A and B are shown apart, each in its own frame.
Chain A
């Protein structure tokens, strides 16, 4: 059993639902108890969808458990096919239906429906949302893009005439809507045609056209890498799996796509790419060495770490993911940045790691936004799960050149603006502009109620040494966002030297010792 108030991913059937809701002409019949229809709200409220998701739930109740839940499932299947006239249906069970073992696959097969039925096996007690989405997409691709028998050897079109598929974008994905616009621009800019985007916007019969492309572009490995692997094995389609998030990653992505397309990579960066100059301009100097803690799905976390270190000049002080399936990538990135990887879906462990790392900026999910607010650390959201504010009306991709511009703005914005940060370091007792209030460009004049006004919440509770009154006072003169780090360093310094009391001297000795 795992105690939780927050889960980074929903159950796997929510992943399947995301695939169904992404596509056209596909319906999902889900064997589930009454109440599981809450998932519709994710689509109608968070994503602000204007139609009901194409999901029929059996919503069985206790009195149905006696005998006829299987019959309820069969009726729901038949009714859904008749009413919605889909090209195909997927059928499966939610966690409770998995326990009663009605076998949706067998029941649906027995109905002899006039359309393809794809049964899903999604183990709810061991797998999660992204796995469910990847598995569902893979099953659909297998079904509708079946390989020719016997297998034919694939030959690519001539260089310069090749096309690709964009795989991975889904409903409820973090900025998927705008990412595909941006990536399409990148790919077509190389003279490569986009054969199909899937699953978002595709129908089952569209999936049959997947093999017509010369290669695949995997935008979100959490969703599409299983399907891309299968397409490679069965249709000989190579794939690029470099999510183009950040300036460097976008350049590598373009090089890799150009190579598969047999065309030269672009010669120069486009004029709309402003992020590199913004980051080099002198107002960004104070960003150098800001310590940033990064957590999210593996794709966004690894991409963010690279941007933070190489493109914004931050120092990565923590890196982790909840995507166990991609833990290896995150471990490699963590080793590169010299930090311990955090592979966990326990939000309390993530909070502990943030407290221990003492970051000046957190890049995370909706949950890290909550943690950051409590700890009063600036934060930007880089990954699902997210709430309604991260499905904005405006164009806001993360990928490609415009995506890099968006990232610069949204990550730098939460930080204290440069001049204000300097003045706070000089004059500590201003009645309006002091370190118990949020940065003034964020418009809040006082600290939110119930939030501790200093760094004490940021510090490990087990303090080995005592602070003298003078030293404690001196510590308060250090700017808020680095004070926690200073406190911890000084305590470590004192403990290592067997000191029992920290004086002003100790504080400055430690500062000199750890100075970077």
Chain B
């Protein structure tokens, strides 16, 4: 990092207070829910959960009406007779996979996804994937990762998937020069915007992980510089580093400031002239600031309480406080990856209470006592809090909406304005 570092960076020693760690009920999704967006991102992949009826029920409850479209995911439900003997379980899995691939012959990548039951009975999905790969190669690649609730929270499912993809990537040629890999599933439109900016900066070749097709997996090697587009990629970053790549440190591309710093990290790594960087990003920065400014009046001084959900919370809080003028009451996150968050934490004003993990009842007590203007929380809490008179923004939408980059900065702010605007608009009494 050099001259391109954003001008408003706070001194590095302004890290927040030690997070509050409480052990109690976690009101969060498990990693299986990542499949809901991953199966759309990687279009020739099928995600097969090996789990229980609960897993299948979770997926259909969370994916709602998408089931109608015959989604590229499903559950192999473990039944009582499967639990009787493990050999039987592997045979059953082979049978289910054969039926599935016969029904969906266009599938090029089958992903076995571990669940709590499969982890607890120690069903070896790695071995199963190897065996199934032998049976179905070369038409279908078979991979595996765990999305179980005992090991993963919500977006960590994607982390584990990308980590397993990292091990599958082809190696770059020994003669290959530097290249940039953007890790973390992004909406297609955002991916295209970033690609245009990198092209204009002369950074390349650029690849995105996951790729849109499993047949187009990008190569990796010692010349690869990795920019994490999402804050929840601890395992994936480790796996990419194990392949020789270098992970660049940067805040995440939310808001004008985050996006500039994020792009700046890549520009610095590729030796882009500061003047050129400014020229290329100038228009985007201006548009982002203008778009956010339109919402600033509504958010300025508003007190926001963030419950843990996706690990995006510190970045969201940084955006809301620095660009929209909001006051942050508490930042809850399921997990704080200190190293990857260093860029974000440096930008947050010191003294904001953090909590890592959750005891939902005690956190609700803190939220009620603080009476925030807006609580960012999951859908299990949102309606009950609304009924108590606390405005909420349901947090899952932040994962399912294009919010990264300059052109989405205004949309990101608007997501938080909407519930407040709605409360002002409704003339319905309590």
| A interface residues, Cβ below 8 angstroms from B | 1-7, 9-11, 13-14, 33-42, 44-46, 48-52, 56-62, 64-65, 72, 76, 79, 83, 94-96, 99-100, 123-126, 128, 367, 369-370, 373-374, 387
Contact of B62 among A6, A33, A41, A65 (CB under 8 A): A41
Task: Looking at the assembled complex, report how far the CB atom of B84 sits from the nearest CB atom of chain A, in whole angstroms.
Answer: 10
Task: Looking at the assembled complex, report how far the CB atom of B363 sits from the nearest CB atom of chain A, in whole angstroms.
Answer: 13
Chain B residue at minimal CB-CB distance from A69:
B150
Contact between A125 and B60, CB atoms less than 8 A apart:
no
B35-79, CB < 8 A from A? 50, 52-54, 56-62, 64-65, 67-68, 70-71, 73-79
Contact between A95 and B80, CB atoms less than 8 A apart:
no
How far is B57's CA from A367's CA once the two chains are assembled, in angstroms? Answer: 13
How far is B359's CA from A83's CA once the two chains are assembled, in angstroms? Answer: 13
Using a Cβ–Cβ cut-off of 8 Å, how many residues does chain B contribute to the interface with A? 64
| B interface residues, Cβ below 8 angstroms from A | 23-33, 50, 52-54, 56-62, 64-65, 67-68, 70-71, 73-80, 82-83, 89, 92-93, 95-96, 99-100, 116-117, 119-121, 148-151, 153, 361, 379-384, 386-387
How far is B58's CA from A5's CA once the two chains are assembled, in angstroms? Answer: 11
How far is B150's CA from A185's CA once the two chains are assembled, in angstroms? Answer: 49
Residues of A close to B54: CB separation below 8 A: 10-11, 13-14, 36, 94-96, 124
Contact of A3 among B59, B99, B117 (CB under 8 A): B99
With contacts A37-B25, A65-B120 taken as known, whether A1 is within 8 angstroms of B93 at the C-beta atoms is yes
Task: Looking at the assembled complex, report how far the CB atom of B423 sits from the nearest CB atom of chain A, in whole angstroms.
Answer: 15
Task: Looking at the assembled complex, report how far the CB atom of B359 sits from the nearest CB atom of chain A, in whole angstroms.
Answer: 9
Task: Looking at the assembled complex, report how far the CB atom of A297 sits from the nearest CB atom of chain B, in whole angstroms.
Answer: 16
Contact between A83 and B79, CB atoms less than 8 A apart:
no
Contact of B77 among A4, A33, A99, A123 (CB under 8 A): A4
Contact between B32 and A2, CB atoms less than 8 A apart:
no
Contact between B62 and A38, CB atoms less than 8 A apart:
yes
How far is B77's CA from A504's CA once the two chains are assembled, in angstroms? Answer: 49
Contact between A5 and B150, CB atoms less than 8 A apart:
no
Contact of A37 among B32, B64, B380, B387 (CB under 8 A): B380
Contact between A96 and B117, CB atoms less than 8 A apart:
yes
Residues of A close to B148: CB separation below 8 A: 33, 35, 62
| 28 residue pairs A–B, Cβ–Cβ below 8 Å | A1-B95, A2-B79, A3-B74, A5-B56, A7-B56, A11-B57, A14-B57, A33-B116, A33-B149, A33-B150, A35-B28, A36-B54, A36-B58, A37-B26, A37-B380, A38-B380, A44-B381, A44-B384, A56-B25, A61-B26, A65-B150, A95-B53, A99-B117, A124-B54, A125-B79, A370-B68, A387-B64, A387-B65
How far is B62's CA from A387's CA once the two chains are assembled, in angstroms? Answer: 11
How far is B148's CA from A79's CA once the two chains are assembled, in angstroms? Answer: 26
Residues of B close to A3: CB separation below 8 A: 74-77, 96, 99-100
Residues of A close to B383: CB separation below 8 A: 44-45, 48-50
How far is B32's CA from A76's CA once the two chains are assembled, in angstroms? Answer: 25
Contact between B73 and A59, CB atoms less than 8 A apart:
no
Residues of A close to B92: CB separation below 8 A: 1
Residues of B close to A52: CB separation below 8 A: 380-381, 384
How far is B65's CA from A369's CA once the two chains are assembled, in angstroms? Answer: 10
Contact between A34 and B120, CB atoms less than 8 A apart:
no
Contact of B78 among A5, A72, A125, A369 (CB under 8 A): A125
Task: Looking at the assembled complex, report how far the CB atom of A93 sits from the nearest CB atom of chain B, in whole angstroms.
Answer: 11
Contact between A62 and B150, CB atoms less than 8 A apart:
yes
How far is B355's CA from A379's CA once the two chains are assembled, in angstroms? Answer: 48
7 tightest A-B CB contacts, nearest first: A35-B30, A35-B149, A40-B380, A50-B387, A370-B68, A96-B116, A1-B92
Contact between A34 and B30, CB atoms less than 8 A apart:
yes
How far is B167's CA from A169's CA once the two chains are assembled, in angstroms? Answer: 52
Highest count of chain B CB atoms <10 Å: which of A35, A45, A46, A367: A35
Task: Looking at the assembled complex, report how far the CB atom of B396 sits from the nearest CB atom of chain A, in whole angstroms.
Answer: 10
How far is B117's CA from A100's CA once the two chains are assembled, in angstroms? Answer: 10
Chain B residue at minimal CB-CB distance from A348:
B103
Residues of A close to B33: CB separation below 8 A: 38
Contact between B384 and A50, CB atoms less than 8 A apart:
yes
How far is B122's CA from A65's CA once the two chains are assembled, in angstroms? Answer: 13
Task: Looking at the assembled complex, report how far the CB atom of A173 sits from the nearest CB atom of chain B, in whole angstroms.
Answer: 16
Contact between B28 and A124, CB atoms less than 8 A apart:
no
Chain A residue at minimal CB-CB distance from B54:
A11
Chain B residue at minimal CB-CB distance from A126:
B80
Contact between B53 and A44, CB atoms less than 8 A apart:
no
SS of A interface (majority): mixed
With contacts A11-B54, A125-B83 taken as known, whether A34 is within 8 angstroms of B361 at the C-beta atoms is no
Residues of B close to A34: CB separation below 8 A: 26, 28, 30, 149-150, 153
With contacts A96-B120, A370-B68 taken as known, whether A7 is within 8 angstroms of B150 at the C-beta atoms is no
Highest count of chain B CB atoms <10 Å: which of A1, A11, A50: A1
Contact between B380 and A123, CB atoms less than 8 A apart:
no
Task: Looking at the assembled complex, report how far the CB atom of A57 sits from the nearest CB atom of chain B, in whole angstroms.
Answer: 5
With contacts A42-B61, A100-B120 taken as known, whether A33 is within 8 angstroms of B30 at the C-beta atoms is yes
Chain A residue at minimal CB-CB distance from B157:
A35
Contact of B76 among A1, A6, A14, A57 (CB under 8 A): A1
Chain A residue at minimal CB-CB distance from B151:
A62
How far is B77's CA from A7's CA once the two chains are assembled, in angstroms? Answer: 10
How far is B120's CA from A49's CA once the two chains are assembled, in angstroms? Answer: 33
Contact between B77 and A1, CB atoms less than 8 A apart:
yes
Contact between B61 and A95, CB atoms less than 8 A apart:
no
Task: Looking at the assembled complex, report how far the CB atom of A131 sits from the nearest CB atom of chain B, in whole angstroms.
Answer: 12
How far is B79's CA from A128's CA once the two chains are assembled, in angstroms? Answer: 11
How far is B149's CA from A57's CA once the two chains are assembled, in angstroms? Answer: 13
Residues of B close to A95: CB separation below 8 A: 52-54, 116-117
Task: Looking at the assembled complex, report how far the CB atom of B51 sits from the nearest CB atom of chain A, in whole angstroms.
Answer: 8
Task: Looking at the assembled complex, report how far the CB atom of A485 sits from the nearest CB atom of chain B, in whole angstroms.
Answer: 24
A38-B62, A59-B25 given; name 9 further pairs at CB < 8 Å.
Answer: A1-B77, A10-B57, A11-B53, A35-B148, A38-B380, A59-B26, A61-B149, A79-B24, A96-B116
Task: Looking at the assembled complex, report how far the CB atom of B384 sits from the nearest CB atom of chain A, in whole angstroms.
Answer: 5
Task: Looking at the assembled complex, report how far the CB atom of B94 sits from the nearest CB atom of chain A, in whole angstroms.
Answer: 10
Residues of A close to B116: CB separation below 8 A: 33, 35, 95-96
Contact between B29 and A5, CB atoms less than 8 A apart:
no
With contacts A48-B383, A124-B52 taken as known, whether A4 is within 8 angstroms of B93 at the C-beta atoms is no
With contacts A4-B56, A59-B25 taken as known, whether A36 is within 8 angstroms of B149 at the C-beta atoms is yes
Task: Looking at the assembled complex, report how far the CB atom of A91 sits from the nearest CB atom of chain B, in whole angstroms.
Answer: 15
Residues of A close to B150: CB separation below 8 A: 33-34, 60-62, 64-65, 96
How far is B379's CA from A5's CA once the two chains are assembled, in angstroms? Answer: 22
How far is B3's CA from A112's CA once the two chains are assembled, in angstroms? Answer: 66
How far is B115's CA from A99's CA once the two chains are assembled, in angstroms? Answer: 13
Residues of A close to B381: CB separation below 8 A: 44, 52
Task: Looking at the assembled complex, report how far the CB atom of B198 sits from the nearest CB atom of chain A, in whole angstroms.
Answer: 33
Residues of A close to B32: CB separation below 8 A: 35
Task: Looking at the assembled complex, report how far the CB atom of A273 sits from the nearest CB atom of chain B, in whole angstroms.
Answer: 34
How far is B51's CA from A3's CA once the two chains are assembled, in angstroms? Answer: 10
Residues of A close to B64: CB separation below 8 A: 387
Chain B residue at minimal CB-CB distance from A95:
B52
Residues of B close to A33: CB separation below 8 A: 30, 116, 148-150
Contact between B25 and A76, CB atoms less than 8 A apart:
yes
Task: Looking at the assembled complex, report how far the CB atom of B115 sits from the nearest CB atom of chain A, in whole angstroms.
Answer: 8
How far is B71's CA from A60's CA once the two chains are assembled, in angstroms? Answer: 30
How far is B379's CA from A358's CA once the two chains are assembled, in angstroms? Answer: 40
Residues of B close to A374: CB separation below 8 A: 68, 70
Contact of B82 among A1, A51, A57 (CB under 8 A): A1
Residues of B close to A49: CB separation below 8 A: 383-384
Residues of B close to A128: CB separation below 8 A: 53
With contacts A1-B77, A33-B149 taken as known, whether A51 is within 8 angstroms of B384 at the C-beta atoms is yes
Residues of B close to A57: CB separation below 8 A: 25
How far is B360's CA from A76's CA once the two chains are assembled, in angstroms? Answer: 12
Contact between B57 and A7, CB atoms less than 8 A apart:
yes
Residues of A close to B380: CB separation below 8 A: 37-38, 40-41, 44, 52
Contact between A35 and B29, CB atoms less than 8 A apart:
yes
Contact between B67 and A370, CB atoms less than 8 A apart:
yes
Residues of A close to B74: CB separation below 8 A: 3-5
Contact between B120 and A99, CB atoms less than 8 A apart:
yes
